[in-house]
A and B are shown apart, each in its own frame.
Chain A
Amino acid sequence: MPWSEIPKLTTETIAVAMSGGVDSSTVAAMLRAEGHSVIGLTMQLWNQRRLAGRDGMPESVQGRCCSLDDVYDARRVAQHIGIPYYVVNHEDSFERDVIRPFISEYLSGRTPIPCSLCNNHLKFEQLQLVARQIGAERVATGHYARVAFDASRQRWFLKRPADHSKDQTYFLFGLTQEQLSRTLFPLGDMTKPEVRECARRHGLALAEKPDSQEICFVPGGDYKRFIDAYLAEQGESLPDTAGELVTTNGEVIGEHAGVHNFTVGQRKGLGVATGSPLYVIQISGADKQVVVGNDEHLYSRTLRARRVNLISLAEIREPMRVSVKIRHRHEPAPAIIENTGEDEILVTFDQPQRAITPGQAAVFYDGDIVVGGGWIS
């Protein structure tokens, strides 16, 4: 039976994925106040001390995900609102399912999104499993998104939140029907200021804690250093991905030190001086070429998405009009999507889009409803 059919008045045992931030802390406090039996869980995903001070990585590890400060904050919130709280160790699967793919994507000339991988493999897979094992059928998180069961289509829908400026659905497109059916997003109808106000009302000391922005395991956002340090720790050498810098006409204008130093649309750090600004247009992992060109070369009308996950419908039988978001900070753009093969969708935009980047996700929206998404190839 879908959860939506269970009478609203019953209280249930709910696990809350607590990161030590304002959002998930507020979720825990809200659900507790509603009378549910709440269990706080924090995933220990990465040992921030592991690479600290290595190969130019910063020594200090404070103030990031999986740092002791965040666990401390989450634990204090749990104690304050009076719920049992546990830290569960998923470092092994995080390294296998997030860190390793993150590095290999960069080394293949793509620009990965580790947050989506973490959601798919860790937060909405492993954590839901742990939650069910310990008696909680559903997991609530502090994501800004909405989930609802659509009776007419008999499917679980993922929708954009009331506060579009905080929309996190882009990172959640990989959720399966099973995962969505076991998920609660209690902040979906709230704005960030409302969440902070709610945190204050519940007496949470961290109500004013700043939001986290960067990738949790990459200090200061310097992913190149992270890759160097990680590979050095593993005793693996950085594969030689150095090669030529070529123009869109195929003219070789220089050399580069490795494809993982570039991302599509990048302007700085190309190492060549020309009259007009040059941008990375394309990265070819296979022949180690980085193609550069003018701003106008960055625009493209089509992309192919692979490893597709559909949410609001089971399959796309005929071309469908949607809006497509190609990076986190991108306003969904009108487009047509159509099936072009096994697990492949062709997206054709009405207007050419700037810097379509392989490795990022293309997420399809029908208004606020997430139709599905896939990885840009």
Chain B
Amino acid sequence: MHRVYLDNNATTPVLPEVFEAMRPYFGEHFGNASSIHHHGQETRAAVESARESVAGLLGCSASEVIFTSGGTESDNLAIAGLVEAGDHVITSGIEHHAVLHAAKNLEQIGCEVTVLPADGRGLVDPNDVKRALRQATKLITVMMANNETGVLQPVEEIGKLAAEAEVLFHTDAVQAAGKVPIDVNRMHCHALSISGHKLHGPQGTGALFLKKGTQLHPLFHGGRHERSRRAGTENVPGIVGLGKAAKLASESFNNGAIERLAAMRDRLQRVVLSCIEGTTVNGDGAPRVPNTANIRFDDIEGESLVIALDLKGLAVSTGAACSSGAIEPSHVLIALGLRPEQARASIRFSLGKQTTEEDIDFAIQLLPETVARLRELSPAYKKQTIST
């Protein structure tokens, strides 16, 4: 079956160049990067070179990059590692669960957590951040780009507020890295999370930027890896892959790749909105990353649409999967003020570097008939068409 993948916010395929860069580190270059001999020196060099590539993507120095197992670990390391019992933390209701649940978990050690709302466009208001600041506030954590809507948050303004209030600022940039340029200095952030597999690197890799001089309690205790901030033998092939992916991501801002992505996303969105009635872009009107379109199809069950499309070869997604694999109404879309049935009627299309114009054609061809079929059988849609 011909298959098209438009779920790149869930994960991205490892690019061939990335895979080639990783390959020697599974066999030929196998040393433990902490070993003093030749084998260790080889892999140490590869790890540090990857660190420089990641630093290049984030606009920081290499010593400020900590390699982790992924976005979730980076978020947890930043949040649990920067906060102490009794501190106050500010976050938002549209964060990924890796941040939201990590922050909520702090309540168990006597921290207070303020969860800020988002407006109808999916934006967190910096004024809300300002109002939430207190004497005890230790950390603000607000994401750079939302995973479901793609909406870019006003992180520079929030960073400025944090700097003025002398509060630490962490941002989850997992969905922003590789899609929009990142400069940690402009954002005034102390910590920033990225994930390898969201930017065509391997799964199980990630990094945390930690501003020089920021005190951090490590999550893991063991050897003195990563300057005693993350114990455990480095995942060398993974780190090499992440480094290569970061390098390619940096280059994509100068070679037209991002503009191509944006043009395809815009075409998909335009055609869907004009060909299918009762469609709305969630987060429209706010700045967004160039690869994401979260579209609401009134009166359908998004879950059924995702399955129907999958059976026809198109991979898209809705909400977040719970542990059984069933779909729960998205807490992000609910935070935007959508009713549960509207949240359930929303589908996320996310493009990647390997998305082609033909892929978009395929989606555009498939969607109208599939949505029509679902609506034909939708009790809500029937009721509405009879009453109008």
Q: Give the B-binding residues of A (Cβ under 8 A).
A: 39, 42, 44, 66, 68, 71, 75, 84, 86-89, 91-92, 129-130, 132-135
Q: Are A134 and B311 interface neighbours, CB within 8 A?
A: yes
Nearest B residue to A48 via CB reads B324
- Is B163 close to A, CB under 8 A? no
Q: Are B304 and A133 interface neighbours, CB within 8 A?
A: yes
Q: A54 CB to closest chain B CB, in angstroms?
A: 18
- Is B386 close to A, CB under 8 A? no
Q: B5 CB to closest chain A CB, in angstroms?
A: 16
Kindly list chain B residues whose C-beta atoms are within 8 Å of the C-beta of A66: 324
From the candidates A84, A87, A92, A134, name the one contacting B304 in the complex (CB within 8 A): A134
Q: Are A44 and B307 interface neighbours, CB within 8 A?
A: no
7 A-B pairs whose Cβ atoms sit less than 8 Å apart in the complex: A39-B311, A71-B324, A86-B325, A88-B304, A89-B327, A133-B301, A133-B304
- Is B328 close to A, CB under 8 A? yes
Q: B326 CB to closest chain A CB, in angstroms?
A: 4
Q: Could you tell me the distance between the alpha carbons of A42 and B340 in the complex, rounded to whole angstroms?
A: 22
From the candidates A44, A84, A132, A135, name the one contacting B326 in the complex (CB within 8 A): A44
Kindly list chain A residues whose C-beta atoms are within 8 Å of the C-beta of B327: 88-89
Q: A341 CB to closest chain B CB, in angstroms?
A: 30
User: Helix, strand, loop or mixed for chain A's interface?
Assistant: mixed
Q: A185 CB to closest chain B CB, in angstroms?
A: 23
Q: Are B374 and A84 interface neighbours, CB within 8 A?
A: no
Q: Could you tell me the distance between the alpha carbons of A92 and B328 in the complex, rounded to whole angstroms?
A: 10
- Is B21 close to A, CB under 8 A? no
From the candidates A42, A68, A91, A134, name the one contacting B308 in the complex (CB within 8 A): A134
Nearest A residue to B324 via CB reads A71
Q: Mark B369-380, 1 if CB is under 8 A from A, else 0.
A: 000011001110
Q: Give the A-binding residues of B (Cβ under 8 A).
A: 301, 303-304, 307-308, 310-311, 322-328, 340, 373-374, 377-379
Kindly list chain A residues whose C-beta atoms are within 8 Å of the C-beta of B378: 133
Q: Are A68 and B323 interface neighbours, CB within 8 A?
A: yes
Q: Are A89 and B311 interface neighbours, CB within 8 A?
A: no
Scoring B307, B311, B374 by chain A CB atoms within 10 A of each residue's CB, the highest score goes to: B307
Q: Are B310 and A84 interface neighbours, CB within 8 A?
A: yes
From the candidates B311, B323, B326, B374, name the one contacting A88 in the complex (CB within 8 A): B326
Q: Are B328 and A89 interface neighbours, CB within 8 A?
A: yes
Given A135-B308, A135-B311: A89 touches B303 (CB 8 Å cut-off) = yes
Given A130-B301, A133-B373: A71 touches B311 (CB 8 Å cut-off) = no
Scoring B303, B327, B328 by chain A CB atoms within 10 A of each residue's CB, the highest score goes to: B303
Q: Could you tell me the distance between the alpha carbons of A227 and B307 in the complex, rounded to whole angstroms?
A: 35
Scoring A66, A71, A134 by chain B CB atoms within 10 A of each residue's CB, the highest score goes to: A134
Q: Are A75 and B307 interface neighbours, CB within 8 A?
A: no
From the candidates B301, B307, B322, B328, name the one contacting A86 in the complex (CB within 8 A): B307
Q: Are B326 and A87 interface neighbours, CB within 8 A?
A: yes
Q: B211 CB to closest chain A CB, in angstroms?
A: 39
Q: A39 CB to closest chain B CB, in angstroms?
A: 7
Q: Are B326 and A130 interface neighbours, CB within 8 A?
A: no
Nearest B residue to A133 via CB reads B304
Kindly list chain B residues whose C-beta atoms are within 8 Å of the C-beta of A92: 340
Q: Could you tell me the distance between the alpha carbons of A66 and B340 in the complex, rounded to whole angstroms?
A: 22
Q: Are A75 and B311 interface neighbours, CB within 8 A?
A: no
Q: Are A87 and B374 interface neighbours, CB within 8 A?
A: no
Q: Could you tell me the distance between the alpha carbons of A134 and B378 in the complex, rounded to whole angstroms?
A: 12
Q: A158 CB to closest chain B CB, in angstroms?
A: 24
Nearest A residue to B309 via CB reads A134
Kindly list chain A residues whose C-beta atoms are within 8 Å of the C-beta of B374: 133
Nearest B residue to A49 via CB reads B323
Kindly list chain B residues whose C-beta atoms are within 8 Å of the C-beta of A44: 322, 324, 326
Kindly list chain A residues whose C-beta atoms are within 8 Å of the C-beta of B308: 133-135
From the candidates B323, B325, B326, B377, name the one contacting A133 in the complex (CB within 8 A): B377
Q: Could you tell me the distance between the alpha carbons of A48 and B378 in the complex, rounded to whole angstroms?
A: 29
Nearest B residue to A86 via CB reads B307
Q: Could you tell me the distance between the alpha carbons of A89 and B325 in the complex, rounded to whole angstroms?
A: 9
From the candidates B310, B311, B325, B373, name the one contacting A87 in the complex (CB within 8 A): B325
Q: Are B310 and A89 interface neighbours, CB within 8 A?
A: no
Q: B89 CB to closest chain A CB, in angstroms?
A: 26
Nearest B residue to A130 via CB reads B304
Kindly list chain B residues whose C-beta atoms are within 8 Å of the C-beta of A68: 323-324
Nearest A residue to B312 via CB reads A135
Nearest A residue to B306 via CB reads A86
From the candidates A71, A88, A132, A135, name the one contacting B303 in the complex (CB within 8 A): A88
